[in-house]
Structure formats: C-alpha cells, structure tokens
Amino acid sequence: MRIDRTALTDLAQGAAFLGSGGGGDPYYSLLLGQAELARVESFELVPLDSLGDDALVVPCGWIGAPTVSVEKLPSGLEALAGLKRLERELGRPIDAVLPIEIGGGNGLAPLVSAARLGVPVVDADGMGRAFPESQMAIFNIRGLSACPSVLTAACGALTVIETDDNLTHERIARGLSVALGGIAHMVEYPLTGREAKDHAIGGSVSAAIAIGAAVRRAREGGDDPFAALYAALRDTSLYPYAGELFDGKIVDLERETQGGFSVGRVVIEGFGGSGRMELVFQNENLIARRDGDVVAMVPDLITVMDRETADSITTERLKYGQRVKIVGAAAPAMLREARALALVGPGAFGFTDAYRPIEALNGWDQG
C-alpha cells in the first residue's frame, strides 16, 4: 500500500487516538511527513508477511516528554543518523523500519525516516498504542533485546547503547533524553523478519489510517464522527470494544515535565456539574475514574477528544476549559496476556487496582 497525502492525514488522526494521549504531537509529525511528500511521491507500507525471515527490521521513534516535543523541534538529522549508525554497528543494511509505537506522532515519524533511508515501512508496531517506557514494547514482553540501540538528538549527539537487559536500556535512554533537553530519537529492538512476524502487532498502521479515514468521512458527510470512530475501531479487529466514558469540560489540569516524562492529572466536570472524571497520565492516560470508580485502565486506551470534531487531544495540548469527550477502547489481545499485564498493566505504573477489561467495567460486553 502507498501512503499519500490523504492517507497521511488519516494516519495522523488515527494515530492521535491510538496514542491514548501520548506518542507525541501528531501535527508536527504530519508537517514533517507533508514536507517529505514534496520530495517523494508517497510512502511505501508493506505487510508483515512480506518480510523475509532474515530481513533486518528496525523499530524507531522519539523518546522523551511530549510537553517538550511541542517546543523543542527536531533538527531533521536525528533519525537518519541513528539508523545509519545501527547499520554500521550490525554491518548490514536495514531492510525496513516500523514505528516502535503507533500512537501519536511516533506512529508517523518512521515514514520520513524510511523514505530518507530508501526502505519501506512495515504495517505493524511494537505497542498497538503508545506507552511511556521502552521496555513496555511487545518485543520486551516476548523476551527480545532492545540493543544495540542508537539514541540521537537535535544537537548532533549520538550514543550507542549496549545493555544486557531492557529495563537498564530504558533507564540509560531516559537519562540521556533528559540530559539532551528532554527529547531524543531512538532506534531500538533490531529484529529479524521472523521475529517481527512472530511478535510485532500487525496491521496497526493500516488500522490507524482506517480509523482516521472513518472520522474524516463522517465529518465530510455530516455524520456523527464518534459513532464512526467506534465502528472503525471494532472493524480493525485489534480494538474490539470502544465507547464514550465521559462528556464534559476540563476544570483542572496538573501537568509537569519530570524525569523525562510529562506526568500529571486532568479533571473533567460533567455539564451542569453532573459528575467528575479524573485521568492520571504519564505521557499516556493510564487510568480513568468516574466519581471515584475506575472505568478504564492501562493497557486499554483512554483518549481525550474534542467533543465537537472528534479530534484527539494529546497530553501536551490539554487546556483548561476545553469541552471534551473521554473515549475508551479495548487494547489489542496481545497486551492483555498475563506476561504483558505484568509489564504494561496497572501494577507496572504503581496502581493497586487489579486490571479489569474496559468492556467489563462499562458493560460493553453485555451487548
């Protein structure tokens, strides 16, 4: 499949939703993608099963605090420098790249990197959404190594990271990102084609495009964009349940750049003072409580959206007074396995609540 200007815009819209608030600002990634489309006709997207078993496939994306990424912009040299250096480390050319996470701007960023390198993008990612930490990727859950990994920044700094375990890799990378101003580009979890086919979350890039297209078409046709969004999510087969969790106005927002993350909470009050919802986030929205009761928790998706246009509002774009709908969706099944929940479930973020699926919490599975 070729990704043209329209599909790129749809991808930005869909990826913004799948980011669950994180993954970086999709608009700036969209601008970079559009600028690249002035040079290349379109981006090439290939299915997982087209990869040879021994191909070299590399996930990449930006690591840091989204609140920084909207103010400190890329130099444009980061991704290519990191990919080229990995080729040198491994002594062979890269055959394809994929987003480490489909959510937010990181779902789009690899398109430009791939075009610069002259390779296709794989229709898959490592998270099926966005997560704040590198070891939350499906590749770590399935026991693959993040290294060798290359981290680059706008100032030209480049670091090759070699560690035995992926948690240490995340800590080193996070520390470097802070030292480099809070945002850096990372190439990590180099995979064989076989490993990608066995473990990556397949179809997530085309799913994001389909979700974005459904919202766009609903708007063009004057239909309810939210209804279109829920239907499109269910149609992807990756996100089997979706629906509205709350509708109201943002009345409080605490957001801080801390330890290389954007952390905080946002409080939404129902119109006419009917109920409150509180979201806690670490780059991504992690848990949603309605009047004190949990209604959605990580790894299920929780996204704040403009209640009129169904545009997803990422963490760094939240503002006091915005009128929003909070929308939830079931995470891909691979993220709900016991070994995954240990690394990406509520406990991994310090919440004491045991994980309960969003469809059970909201009675969506009673249909």
Partner 1 sequence: MRIGVDVGGTNTDAVLMDGRAILAWTKQPTSADVSSGVAGAIRTVLGDAGVSPDRIGAVMIGTTHFTNALVQRDRLDRVGVLRLASPSGEALPPLTGWPDDLARRIGGHVFLLPGGYEVDGREIAPFDADKVRAAAVELKARGIGSIAITSAFAPVNASMETRAAAIVREVYPDAAVTLSGAIGRIGFIERENAAILNAALTGLAATVVASFQRALADLGIAAPLYISQNDGTLISAEQAAAFPVLAIGSGPTNSMRGAAFLTGIEDAIVMDVGGTTTDIGVLAGGFPRESSIAVDIGGVRTNFRMPDILAIGLGGGTRVRLDPAFYAADGFAPEALKVGPDSVGYRIAHDALLFGGNTLTASDVAVAAGRAAFGARTNLPDFSAATLGAIWARFQAMLEEAVDRMKTARGDATVLAVGGGNFLIGDALKGAARVIRPPHAAVANAVGAAIAQVGAQVEQIVAYDKEPRATALARMRDEVTARVIAAGGAADSVRIVEVDEVFLSYLPGKAAQLRVRAVGDLAGLPVEETAAPLVHHAH
Residues near partner 1, by CB under 8 A: 27-28, 31-32, 34-35, 65, 67-68, 70-77, 154-156, 178, 181-182, 222, 252-258, 306-309, 311, 313, 316-317, 319-324
β 121-122/276-282 pair status:
unpaired
Minimum distance from residue 313 beta carbon to partner 1 (Å): 6
- Are 241 and 359 spatial neighbours (Cβ–Cβ below 8 Å)? yes
For partner 1, give the closer residue by CB, 155 or 360.
Answer: 155
- How far, rounded to the nearest angstrom, does the alpha carbon of residue 34 sit from its chain's CA centroid? 20
CB atoms within 10 A of CB 232: 23
The amino acid occupying position 287 is I
Backbone angles phi, psi at 198, to 5 degrees: -80, -30
**Tokens (6 digits) for 331:** 């995470």
* Rounded distance between C-alpha atoms, residue 127 and residue 48, angstroms: 15
- Are 61 and 51 spatial neighbours (Cβ–Cβ below 8 Å)? no
Backbone angles phi, psi at 162, to 5 degrees: -125, 115
For partner 1, give the closer residue by CB, 35 or 333.
Answer: 35
- DSSP conformation class of 312: B
What Rg do the C-alpha atoms of the chain give, in angstroms? 19
β 96-99/56-64 pair status:
parallel
Minimum distance from residue 130 beta carbon to partner 1 (Å): 19
For partner 1, give the closer residue by CB, 20 or 236.
Answer: 20
Q: Which runs of consecutive H residues, i.e. helices, occur in 221-263?
A: 225-235
Strand extents, DSSP E, the chain: 2-3, 43-46, 56-64, 96-99, 121-122, 124-125, 149-152, 158-161, 183-187, 191-192, 201-202, 242-258, 261-270, 276-282, 284-290, 293-297, 301-306, 323-329
